[in-house]
Structure 1
Amino acid sequence: MEAAWLLRLAVAGAVVRGSLSAQPPNVTYIVQEERCDLSVNWLHVESPNSSCTRHYKVALRVNGNWIKLSENCLSNPSWTTEISLGEKIDFGVQTACDKDCQVPPWNDNETFPVVQNGIAGTGARNLTCIWWNRKYMECSWLSGENASPDSPYTMFYKHGSVQQCKNITRNGSLFQCGFDFAIQHVENIVISVGGNSSNIQPVCLIWDEISRLVKLHPPRIEYLLKKSSEVFLNWTKPSGLYNLFYEVEITNEQDRNEKPQLKCFESRNLQDNTARIDVEPDVQQSFRIRVKTEDGLWSDWSEMKVSNPRASTLYLLLIILIPLCVALPLVILLIYMKRIKRLILPKIPDPEQILKSMFQEQSELQPPHETVNNEEIHPLTIVDPAGKEK
């Protein structure tokens, strides 16, 4: 949706300061609501003499304050800038001969008010956005005080191109809309909230430093170990982010009226997610932590974890005793397993020993041989007539 208004035509030869500084003629402007752009055009002013080369100075005034000036002198008779719709906006244009664009102070009769569409008080209120973990942008706003209860709103966001946020949800007078925005190298974003009819006044917000909208998910404390007067903390860390700042809140559980202590830590690398904190010994304390980027918003607090000095001592004892309790029965079991194996599985005899013992028994059963004059005398063998030995 594009709204254009012709403000007024400034006649040629309007108020001139010494013919060297003047308001150019035929100043017109166009407002593009979805883009939050103000485009100004005017007629070129001829130089009064050869020593003067015309340049133009343009300034923007919001709610009575001059907040934005063109960085350099303009040589062309046109100017485009982003504006915060929903505010009282004026702009001014002057000509100058020098390249530094030195012009007299601005007067009210030399400025142009930007007429905005819609009925006053119908625009979105309290428009805010959060860039969750640099991946998802979520914006919320309240309906205008003078808007109809059933007035619908539309939302557009601009980063290079203009896109519409389509998943708008409503809860009473509260509106919300979110969109994926996982862009690594980005510096600014423009959000525009308007209506489906010309009765709703458009509202624009411009964030030149989008890093201020970053809000990370809260960390999670992985482990907490207290030893004497020291506490060791380890927590989860967002992936792929550098230059993070952490804040640890320490509360005395024995005196909840005591003001909690705050300890701050700075993380410059991806692996830095531990801390050693000096605390009071023999005191039960609770810990929770939050995180933020260098320019962003603080995350919500993590879940609270309580450190009990006695519990910590017991924890250390368990770390030592558990391995011993496991190792000792294992050794005993191995010893008894060897004995049980002998009972269940008998020993397999050695064949060499068996053969040796058999030959030995045979040699013991044979009768001894007698010798006479160094000749062997064999036992007498009697053979009966039938040919059988006796």
Structure 2
Amino acid sequence: MTTSPPVIAAANPVAPAPAPRQRPPVFASEQAALQSAQQLADTWAGDAVLRDRERRLPWAEIEAYSDSGLWAITVPRAYGGLQASAWTVAQLIATVAAADGSLGHIPQNHFYALEVLRVGGSAAQQRFFYERVQAGERFGNALSEIGHRDYRRRSRLERGDAGWVLNGRKFYCTGAIFAHWIPVQAMQVIDAAQDPVSVMVFVPRTAPGVTVIDDWDGMGQRVTGSGSVLLENVAIDEAWIVPFQSSFDSPSTIGPFAQIIHAAIDLGIGEGALRATLPFVRNQSRAWVDAGVAQASDDPLTLQALGNVELRLFAARALLRRAGSLVDAAQQEPTAHTVAAASVAVAQARTLAHTAGLLAANKLLELGGTSATFAEHGFDSYWRNVRTHTLHDPVRWKYHAIGNYALSGVLPPRHGAL
């Protein structure tokens, strides 16, 4: 654990997220966006091991990422955006995650916040925040809290003498350190006689009272910056408060949209692990031939293991594509049944991407042998990244929801983890 973590605060920022250098372009097509993602991923892959080993937060890479226009691809056409499909977003995330699991993960909450805004934001809020994103600004997150066994949020949005005031402490705040705005899940106390309601507060990262603490020290996803956010008497403009609880009271795609991105992260890391495995095994084969030993292509166990990984990753990608089409359909017509079908399909993709990603990372080390554990290769980062990310929310509950839906037609619960 870092003994004295750097603090990124509004009053004295150590490494503030710089303003965009220029307005990012709007892609002419979803294919053009994916081509841009691949080009960026190719440039980032070479330094991924060094960033992970030395825990270099990817400031320059994040600037290039959002400057490319990729962080704005889900902005609706009505507001001048591309309105990319869920499948395109998933492909984007998987492409980048294959090169660097952390870079694949960082924009997840940005896209999640955009979906919350699309579902629950007012026309004025959508117009304002879509414009900010199209200008190159980024959303982070301050949703989760630790230290309690229940899932109730302790962060409070209450009326002060001069208006709304926000207080709380958050953790697992992926993307907050790089963000211009930090969406915060909080309980809004409207009337002391009523129960508070859950809202999403889009807080300027430089607002007085906001402190971002880089205290994330997970064994994997090391450069996601998923540390803490401290909120102390932060003055909140009413225009920044977006309904959250009410967006789950009726059918919406917030949950499946969030989860399809998490599935894409696991898939991408697994595909990156397989891409690292194949040339390594081929090079070993050449060395064995030179030494007079049979090559790996003659070993049926090696071929079986590679075939198993390839098949499971292929199947996970196919399920992810199917899930994307159902999320898109549910966005167009959000009913109890369309949202349930999307949620179950995404859960299926997520569970398979979970097991396929872990399998690919395990087999990279297994087939590579002792040589694959050398620090110079950085192969361990695939396992550490996918193992860490697959713990994000328990897949065992996804199996439960899938089985209940298949057996009894029970619609899954509506929340952000399904």
* Band the TM-score falls in, shorter-chain normalisation: under 0.3
Instruction: Give the greater-gyration-radius structure (CA).
Output: 1
Ranked by relative contact order (alpha carbons within 8 Å, sequence separation 6 or more), the top structure is 2
Higher strand share: 1
Normalised TM-score (structure 2): 0.19
Normalised TM-score (structure 1): 0.20
Higher helix share: 2
